[in-house]
Amino acid sequence: MIDSSFQFNWYVLFRWNIIILLVLCGLLAFIVNSSVIWCIKDDAAIGYNMVGQLKTLLIVFVGSTLFGESLTIKQIISVLFTTLGCAIYVYITYRTKECQKHQQQQQLLVNNI
């Protein structure tokens, strides 16, 4: 239940800057949801998780820079480990796909002989 001291003013919804912000938030939500679908379709749930971790890194760095907050040593270490984990995952995924492509090319060469 909403506190009785809270009073909602309907005229706020009819101000242009509020309408623009609501439309912008809706557009950004659509883009985020579309990118989630694209990421899961093309990679897998683990790829989506990696993108989520990178998003968190971006939020931490942009937020600390934008608001002038200093990062603690615990935050810096966690950011470094997350970045390292994402980099290792991307490297292993890339190498696996390259090896599979190379094996398919070799198989095509063997079949053509």
The pLDDT tens digits for 7-60 are 777 777 777 887 888 899 899 889 888 887 887 777 777 777 777 777 788 888
Q: Which two tokens stand for residue 76?
A: 């810096």
pLDDT of residue 3: 66
Which has more pLDDT, 77 or 52? 77
Cα–Cα distance between 40 and 36 in angstroms, integer?
A: 6
Is the pLDDT score of 1 beyond 60? no
pLDDT tier for residue 85 given thresholds of 50, 70 and 90:
confident
Q: How far apart are CA 96 and CA 103, in angstroms?
A: 11
